[in-house]
Amino acid sequence: MASGAYRNGVAKGSMKVERSAVAVNPSAKSSSGVKVKPAPSLTSGVRRSTTGLLGGSGKDDASVSGRVRVAVRLRPRNAEEMVADADFADCVELQPELKRLKLRKNNWDSDTFEFDEVLTEFASQKRVYEVVAKPVVESVLDGYNGTVMAYGQTGTGKTFTLGRLGEEDTADRGIMVRSMEDILADVSPESDSVFVSYSQLYMESIQDLLDPTNDNISIVEDPKTGDVSVPGATLVEIRDQQSFVELLRLGEAHRFAANTKLNTESSRSHAILMVHVKRSVRGKEELLSSENGNGSHMVKSFRPPLVRKGKLVVVDLAGSERIDKSGSEGHTLEEAKSINLSLSALGKCINALAENSPHVPVRDSKLTRLLRDSFGGTARTSLVVTIGPSPRHRGETTSTIMFGQRAMKVENMVKIKEEFDYKSLARKLDIQLDKLIAENERQQKTFQDQINRIASDAQNQISEAERNYSDALENERLQYERDYKETIKRLEVQWATNQRKRDDDKLIEPKKECLDMGLGTSSSEQIAELKQSLQKEISLRQAAEEQITTLRGEVVQWRRAEAVANTEVIKLRKKLEDEEKQKVKLEEEITILGSQLLRLSFEADETRRSLDRGDSGKILTGLDSLMSQVRHLQLKDSGNGQKASIAKLFEQVGLQKILSLLESEDAEVRIHAVKVVANLAAEEANQEKIVEAGGLTSLLMLLRGSEDEMIRRVAAGAIANLAMNESNQELIMGEGGISLLSMTAADAEDPQTLRMVAGAIANLCGNDKLQTKLRGEGGIKALLGMVRCGHPDVLAQVARGIANFAKCESRASSQGSKLGRSLLIDDGALPWIVQNANNEASPIRRHIELALCHLAQHEVNAKDMISGGALWELVRISRDCSREDIRTLAHRTLISSPTFQAELRRLRIEC
């Protein structure tokens, strides 16, 4: 069997000796004893960028400088060393409280080295993890790439430090196990995911430790981002800690190991554990709304969920060794040569990066290609170098320590990895769209049913009324007709009777001419009675005809009521038609929503392609900032070409509708609306329209009443953009804008919010008419209060505001205004100005130098500036400033001030 064998695999006749291990922590010092400046902490703000390459020298505003952190850990003496070195002192002396290590040359001389952390042989595995790997793991959970790597001579405890499973004693758990415990404890199983791959680099060939048949895996580099990956390796999703431990146990069983004189079970390959963490930024808010039947509302927000992707790489390097000491031969010798060559290539890359060499030999080894993001790239890297105490191996210990010292000089540009989850947004919008369509159809059906029911009821009532009145009219007509016929019949009978009597009287009249004349009187009375009866019948007939006329009038009225009811039915039908039109209009709006979603997807793609070329001159935020940068590039490239997306949205939706969304009860809608307003305010052509439409008042109300940090940040950015226009500055001051900005500055902690507020106040500081009022309402105090943040962008805005304020005071003094001591000095700004006059950041330094020059032009400030140390800074600026105009201004100010000239003569300094 060859000398290289599987670790924990086929029996080799000896067990691996448990060894103490080593750790890392950020706070490094150089070998010369001078403390190295610590890297700034990772910010939590959203930064979008592509992955940097190993050896890349480019820097941009979307990255944070982070030096490689290096710790050294001393392994305790093993049994062999206790016997062989019993008469010799250890070659290493540790001073952990000073983070210092002394390497003895002889009994009277030693070399001193300083590291970020120095861990003794008694350091626990928990402490090693907390000072070395935990900051890196936390960065990975925040969306950054991170690397933890162990380097050292074979047998010094690298595998113990990184890969110890701790099954017998949980206190012995290594960095791999403890890192996964923290990751699983922080992620959400519903919205987040954790995937792991475990491979080894053996004899310049990448092999999958989870699937030994998967051999010679290729390395793939993304041509756009430069990100390095091994897509051929087995990727396993991790849900619990036990499954991860099983995965490590399986991988260790397949890793190559061999028995050498320096280590009974020496690793013959570099083990690489990659942990891919994908997290949803808004967590549970990204889940789809619950299905509670409320599906009639419109889509609340078009903002896609934000997803952060972090990658943790844990590298257990094979131990460097000398052939004469390890006793390697045959296949083991070839393995040792391959290991030493790859480690040598890694050392060359680190040397080139430490010396800022224009060429970094990344492609000399597959190991350096895999680690190109860890050294000089975008990952936060912690390196633990392990050493032994034996004086026999002093040469190897020295080499390991010098490797760590050179690694401490490597600067990485740490960048966040995040993207928009458009698939989740599309699913969410599809569900909401389906709910809207279903709700609309249900409402339309309900409305149609109501219309049909009302029409049916009206028709039934009309039919019933017509039937009742028709029956009543017919009954009245028949009754009057019967009465009329009976009256006529009775009159006819009466008339016939009278006629017969009259005929009888005519026959007997000649015979009874002499009868009593009373008979004639009686006949006349009967005729009069008949006439009276006839007259009465005529009156009754007329009354019947009048009643018939009245009934006919009532029938006409009922027919008119029927016509009115028909009119109402027509109106209802017209209303139904209007509802149909509204339905069509709603469907058109739904189509527009879909097109806007597609446009947003297209704009996001355009944003990612043009992000590194964007204009950062104006204060923008979030997604709208990217869209505005795209618009800027399009206008720059195409002149009067196609309008950008925000302009199209402005034309289609209208300013009033956008401003009305600022008062929405839905926080997501308010956030989206205020971002659109902020982007519109970035263009000077839109500022007057926004102010006239009441947009400034709405933004100030948001700043006053909103508790949402993002809304306040974007609202402050929009106000800062509006404050660039002089006519708007007086309006902002008149509506209490400075007081609101000052309160926001006092309450906010987020650097981005403070940057927006400081930018707005800085713009207002440039108005000569508003200086007294601005200072009276706490503007200068608010600016100085924001320096507590310490963020370079915030300090740059504060310095710009102070420079603007000092320039206005200087201009007023030159115009003959009688001013007292500077308001900046009265409010205590001078110490901070002097302290930052030589700041490393050029924007801060340039503004502070201008502020000092303008303050010095007013003679009444001279004594305070001399006592505050500003005179020395003015002399330095007049001699060493990189900008000629500022250097000339400082020199002219010094020679024109009698007070300064007298002090310079007293100090015997020539200007």
pLDDT 10s digits, 600-649: 545 544 554 554 444 333 333 333 443 444 344 334 433 333 334 455 55
So what's the pLDDT on residue 234? 93
Are residues 845 and 852 in contact, defined by beta-carbon separation less than 8 angstroms? no
Per-residue three-class SS string for 833-853: HHHCCCCCCHHHHHHHHHHHH
Q: Give the amino acid at 612.
A: D
Q: Binding site annotation covers 152? A: yes
Q: Point out the residues of the chain with pLDDT beneath 50.
A: 1-62, 283-300, 514-515, 519, 601, 604-605, 608, 611-645
What is the rounded distance in angstroms from the CA atom of residue 384 to the CA atom of residue 660? Answer: 57
* Largest pairwise CA distance in the chain: 196
What is the rounded distance in angstroms from the CA atom of residue 900 to the CA atom of residue 892? Answer: 11
Closest by CA to 549, choosing from 483, 468, 484, 480, is 480
Residues 106/110/113/117 CA torsion (nearest 10 deg): 70
What is the rounded distance in angstroms from the CA atom of residue 717 to the CA atom of residue 679? Answer: 9
Phi, psi torsion values for 73, nearest 5 degrees: -130, 130
So what's the pLDDT on residue 739? 85
Q: Binding site annotation covers 153? A: yes
What is the rounded distance in angstroms from the CA atom of residue 801 to the CA atom of residue 753? Answer: 16
So what's the pLDDT on residue 261? 53
Q: How far is CA 720 from CA 586, 726, 745, 902, in A?
A: 37, 12, 14, 43
**Bridge-partner residues for 114, per DSSP?**
100
Q: Binding site annotation covers 857? A: no
Three-state SS for 132?
A: helix
Q: Binding site annotation covers 161? A: no
Q: Binding site annotation covers 656? A: no
Q: How far is CA 488 from CA 285, 333, 493, 542, 545, in A?
A: 95, 148, 9, 14, 15
So what's the pLDDT on residue 864? 87
So what's the pLDDT on residue 418? 77
Three-state SS for 446?
A: helix
Q: Binding site annotation covers 575? A: no
So what's the pLDDT on residue 746? 84
Q: How far is CA 358 from CA 55, 322, 612, 761, in A?
A: 8, 31, 22, 42
Residues near 8 by Cβ (< 8 Å), separated by ≥ 6?
249, 252, 253
| Token output for 431 | 């569900």
Are residues 389 and 92 in contact, defined by beta-carbon separation less than 8 angstroms? yes
What is the rounded distance in angstroms from the CA atom of residue 846 to the CA atom of residue 81? Answer: 60
What is the rounded distance in angstroms from the CA atom of residue 779 to the CA atom of residue 620? Answer: 22
What is the rounded distance in angstroms from the CA atom of residue 797 to the CA atom of residue 804? Answer: 11
Phi, psi torsion values for 89, nearest 5 degrees: -80, 155
Q: 3-state DSSP helix/strand/coil percent for the chain, to nearest 5?
A: 60, 10, 30
Residues near 500 by Cβ (< 8 Å), separated by ≥ 6?
none
Burial of 292 (0-12, 13-18, 19+ CB in 10 A): exposed
